[in-house]
Amino acid sequence: MPEMPEVEITKRILEKQLKFLKICKIQIFKKELRWIIKNELKKLFLDCIILKPFRLGKYIIIPTNKNLCLIIHLGMSGVLKIKIKNEKLEKHDHVKFTMLDENEKKSYLIYNDPRRFGFIDYCYNNKLKYHFLLKNLGIEALSKGLNSDYLLKKFKNKNISIKIALLDQKIVAGIGNIYASEILFLSKTHPLFNVKFIDVNQAIKICKSIKLILTRAIKKGGTTIKDFKNPDGKLGYFKQQLLVYSREGKKCFVCTKIIKMINFGGRATFYCETCQKSSKEFLKEI
DNA sequence: CGTAGCGCCTGCCGGC
DNA sequence: TGCCGGCAGGCGCTAC
């Protein structure tokens, strides 16, 4: 489910609904996620008061008043659900936090993840940037620092296709497989274009497209392909705006030629051969 | 060193 | 109807 816009949507709702709640109970029904949830987490976070959640790339960070923060990643199929009633568990509910507000009213945060590629970890607030999963994150996709200079610097001495580069969280944090195809279509860049040939003009276009696509997706509440729901249970509506992703065999909205799908790096990539044309010599072999 | 490919999981869909 | 292969929004690890 989640690329950065979906994670951002999730975070915004957590921000509204979890702030200053006290964690009074933690239940772990399945600790074998991407990594095994550490035993001590349950005890450590008891009686912690939740401060303002934030996002780093596709990670959600939930800081607390005890210098500890939760690190949550939703993997491919993870969702966080907030409930105000103590409802029966659903399939693939793996972790449940019970929380209290200042009037002792309970609410519940539930981590649900069918494929279990996501995880929950924790660390000390001041050690966050040294956490092994966060320390190598590249620049935030929507930050000002993401500009053509930054991209060109990162692309220097690399010999990979632009599609692979956009998915590399060490370069830019937040882009996933759906939006990578969309971004390349918008910037008229062939997905196999070798980053070592990207010039300033192309880098500027790519930066603009990254920001435009992700900002639009956030506005639409993210993309629901199959199972993304925000913590309020709402769906995302960016799917209707997708220009190339999952449109193989259909007509390009711009030139009416047929959208192609290719597979590399183990992921599907959708593009328009006409709109994203490139001389062969600039493409990365696959 | 950088890069390509694998594997972790469950569920769903299309083809036979 | 049922079974099977392929595929899915991510990402760290391993082998080269």
Those nucleotides of strand C lying less than 7 Å from any protein Cβ are 7-12
Which of A11, A58, A229, A247 is flagged as catalytic? A58
Residue A77 pLDDT exceeds 80 = yes
* Nearest nt (C1') from A227 Cα: C9
* A231 tagged catalytic: no
Residue A209 pLDDT exceeds 90 = yes
> Which pLDDT value is given to residue A240?
83
* A281 tagged catalytic: no
* Nearest nt (C1') from A239 Cα: C9
Cα-based angle A232, A117, A22 (whole degrees, multiple of 5)? 45
Mean pLDDT in chain A? Answer: 95
* A280 tagged catalytic: no
Where does residue A91 rank: exposed (0-12), middle (13-18), buried (19+ CB within 10 A)?
exposed
CA A101 to chain centre: 29
* Nearest nt (C1') from A114 Cα: B10
Q: How far is CA A253 from CA A225, A241, A258, A270, A275, in A?
A: 20, 11, 10, 13, 10
Length of chain A measured in residues: 286
* A267 tagged catalytic: yes
> Which pLDDT value is given to residue A227?
64
Those nucleotides of strand B lying less than 7 Å from any protein Cβ are 2-12
Q: Is the CB of A226 under 7 A from strand B?
A: yes
> Which pLDDT value is given to residue A201?
98
Q: Is the CB of A2 under 7 A from strand C?
A: yes
pLDDT band at A1 (very low <50, low <70, confident <90, very high): low
Which pTM does this prediction carry? 0.96
CA distance A276 to A71: 38
Residue with tokens 């996709």: A141
Q: How many DSSP H helices and E strands does chain A contain?
A: 6, 12
* Nearest nt (C1') from A180 Cα: C9
Q: Which residue is nearest to nucleotide B2 (CA to C1')?
A: A158
pLDDT band at A168 (very low <50, low <70, confident <90, very high): very high
Each residue of A28-53: pLDDT tens digit? 999 999 999 999 999 999 999 999 99
Return the HEC string of A201-248: HHHHHHHHHHHHHHHHHHHCCCECCCCCECCCCCECECHHHCCCCCCC
Each residue of A121-155: pLDDT tens digit? 999 999 999 999 999 999 999 999 999 999 999 99
Each residue of A223-254: pLDDT tens digit? 877 767 788 888 888 888 899 999 999 999 99
Residue A263 pLDDT exceeds 70 = yes
pLDDT band at A285 (very low <50, low <70, confident <90, very high): confident
Q: Is the CB of A224 under 7 A from strand C?
A: yes
